């Protein structure tokens, strides 16, 4: 059997880092970990190829070669996924589809031969058995949550690691919180499920033995969902492994803001090689936090919490949302002030979306305020519901946030605010390689010569060399990120936004 695993293309968004990747001479941020893991679950005797459309083109020859195309996608990849399905149908190639996009809305897709939904550890084996017997069904689904200790190591030989800026690993699935707008608990459940320490080290070993040196992103829904296990088992094990190999990886992860409450945990994480954490801040407005049940963010000084994490040597990347029912008109100024004061350089601000199946989706449906399905892209000015705030006011305010926080003056000022708080204390530092030098050289051309805000670029680099020389590579990285953010903001701000029109999605 010849199996072609296809990962559709992402649209150009803040999260794509497309413009930054061009300067860094990389094609994509991360490889498709889900498909690589699924590939490891397929019979060894089968021939396998993987096409990540964010890295290379999907050719007709690829489709002709395959007996089956296995496609997995996030909701934001829908347009590209539909194109792949259409091409397979035209060529008569059978399609098996899974992943978040199809799990939440498989009934909307024609032309797919088999849907293997939910978590593949449960639904893929019966499909493979039925396929072998010649009686494969159209849909395989399950509410059962698999034991991640049975999840195989991803099939890394299927990709060219040099095309990516970072590798990724999954340690756990699930999140203990229940935010109204989040679909994580629908896909992966409330209770965090984890791999064991030996399993995690085996995945580290594979990446290390294949020559990877650099960033590794732990893609968990909430890495600190099981703090006790992290502190007593996982982090001490990672620390020993990293020390023995002189810290070949620089680790990053996603966590909740209550990380700031656990000093022991932060110290262990930095010692284990972590230097970046993405945190869903969402909003500084207490009423909006209560509305969306973001209880972990309530009744705390969020700026102080962010700065405390930065003081321990972890760069905080933040997610922010506007469009909550409880948002006052002053929310746009409040978001800007918070972002600037906190020194969160990588601040991702988006419009509220109501993903299918979430409690927010159900509430808005009952209130007759839903317009359409969520696009999965909360930065393209599209809303899938009628907001309480005047639509024009919301869009105008959102544009004002983007214009402000990504403009060279405010953006570079935020980098300086961060560097004043950041106290790198760990051993993990990305090794300076030829591609880093090349990226720095290209940044001089794009940011130090061509861009209008070039004076801020040079001021930042000189100041960093004088006051925080150890953080110079990080300052260059931030400058490159800022270039990407400005390009994306300009793209979306300049595009025409359409008025809201109710659509029956039942």
Domain ranges of the chain: 2-140, 165-421
Counting Cβ atoms within 10 Å, is residue 22 exposed (0-12), middle (13-18) or buried (19+)?
middle
Pairing assessment for the beta strands 214-218 and 249-255 based on DSSP bridges: parallel
Q: Which residues contact 421 (CB under 8 A, 6 or more apart)?
A: 307, 310, 311, 343
CA distance 128 to 135: 10
Write out the two tokens for 314.
């972890």
Residue 140, strand partner residues:
116
Sole residue written with tokens 């060219």: 160
SS3 217: strand
Enclosing H/E stretch for 320? strand 315-322
Q: Which residues contact 45 (CB under 8 A, 6 or more apart)?
A: 1
Enclosing H/E stretch for 252? strand 249-255
What does each of the 506 residues of the chain score in pLDDT, given as a tens digit?
Answer: 999 999 999 999 888 899 999 998 999 999 999 999 999 999 999 999 999 999 999 999 999 999 999 999 999 999 999 999 999 999 999 999 999 999 999 999 999 999 999 999 999 999 999 999 999 999 999 999 999 999 999 999 999 999 999 999 999 999 999 999 999 988 999 899 999 999 999 999 999 999 999 999 999 999 999 999 999 999 999 999 999 999 999 999 999 999 999 999 999 999 999 999 999 999 999 999 999 999 999 999 999 999 999 999 999 999 999 999 999 999 999 999 999 999 999 999 999 999 999 999 999 999 999 999 898 887 888 899 999 999 999 999 999 999 999 999 999 999 999 999 999 877 766 667 777 788 899 999 999 999 999 999 999 999 999 999 999 999 999 999 999 999 999 988 887 455 544 444 44
pTM above 0.85, yes or no: yes
Write out the two tokens for 266.
């932060």
CA distance 126 to 37: 17
CA 144 to chain CA mean position, Å: 25
Sole residue written with tokens 């024009």: 392
CA distance 8 to 309: 35
From the options 3.40.50.280, 3.20.20.10, 3.30.70.260, 3.40.50.620, give the CATH code of 2-140: 3.40.50.280
CA 82 to chain CA mean position, Å: 22
Sole residue written with tokens 């317009």: 371
Nearest to 84 by CA among 105, 41, 54, 128: 54
CA distance 277 to 309: 9
Architecture of the domain made up of 165-421: Alpha-Beta Barrel (3.20)
């Amino acid at each position: 059997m010849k199996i072609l695993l296809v990962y559709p293309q992402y649209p150009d968004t803040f999260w794509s880092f497309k413009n930054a990747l061009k300067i860094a001479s990389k094609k994509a941020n991360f490889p498709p970990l889900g498909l690589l893991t699924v590939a490891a679950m397929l019979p060894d005797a089968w021939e396998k190829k993987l096409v990540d459309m964010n890295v290379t083109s999907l050719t007709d020859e690829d489709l002709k070669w395959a007996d089956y195309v296995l496609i997995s996608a996030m909701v934001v990849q829908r347009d590209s996924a539909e194109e792949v399905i259409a091409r397979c149908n035209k060529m008569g190639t059978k399609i098996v589809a899974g992943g978040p996009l199809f799990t939440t809305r498989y009934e909307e897709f024609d032309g797919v031969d088999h849907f293997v939904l939910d978590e593949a550890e449960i639904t893929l084996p019966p499909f493979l058995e039925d396929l072998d017997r010649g009686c494969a069904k159209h849909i395989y689904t399950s509410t059962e949550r698999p034991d991640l200790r049975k999840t195989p190591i991803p099939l890394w030989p299927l990709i060219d690691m040099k095309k990516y800026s970072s590798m990724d690993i999954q340690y756990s699935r699930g999140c203990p919180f229940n935010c109204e707008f989040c679909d994580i608990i629908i896909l992966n459940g409330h209770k965090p499920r984890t791999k064991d320490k030996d399993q995690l080290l085996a995945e580290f070993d594979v990446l290390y033995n294949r020559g990877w040196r650099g960033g590794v992103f732990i893609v968990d829904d909430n890495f600190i969902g099981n703090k006790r296990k992290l502190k007593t088992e996982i982090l001490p094990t990672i620390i020993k492994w990293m020390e023995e190999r002189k810290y070949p990886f620089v680790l990053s992860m996603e966590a909740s803001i209550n990380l700031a409450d656990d000093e022991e945990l932060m110290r262990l994480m930095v010692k284990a090689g972590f230097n970046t954490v993405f945190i869903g801040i969402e909003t500084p407005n207490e009423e909006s936090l209560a509305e969306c049940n973001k209880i972990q963010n309530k009744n705390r000084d969020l700026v102080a919490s962010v700065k405390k994490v930065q003081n321990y040597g972890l760069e905080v990347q933040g997610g922010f949302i506007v469009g909550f029912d409880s948002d006052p008109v002053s929310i746009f100024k409040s978001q800007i002030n918070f972002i600037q004061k906190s020194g969160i350089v990588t601040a991702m601000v988006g419009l509220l979306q109501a993903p299918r199946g979430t409690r927010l989706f159900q509430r808005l449906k009952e209130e007759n305020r839903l317009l359409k399905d969520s696009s999965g892209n909360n930065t393209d000015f599209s809303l899938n519901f009628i907001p309480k705030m005047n639509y024009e006011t919301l869009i105008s305010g959102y544009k004002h946030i983007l214009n402000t926080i990504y403009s060279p003056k405010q953006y570079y000022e935020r980098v300086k605010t961060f560097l004043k708080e950041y106290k790198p204390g760990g051993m993990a530092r990305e090794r300076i390689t030829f591609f880093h030098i090349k990226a720095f050289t290209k940044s001089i051309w794009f940011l130090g010569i061509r861009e209008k805000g070039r004076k801020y670029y040079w001021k930042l680099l000189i100041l960093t060399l004088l006051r925080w020389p150890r953080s110079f590579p990080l300052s260059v990285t931030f400058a490159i990120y800022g270039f990407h953010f400005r390009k994306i903001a300009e793209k979306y701000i300049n595009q025409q936004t359409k008025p809201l029109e109710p659509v029956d999605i039942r």
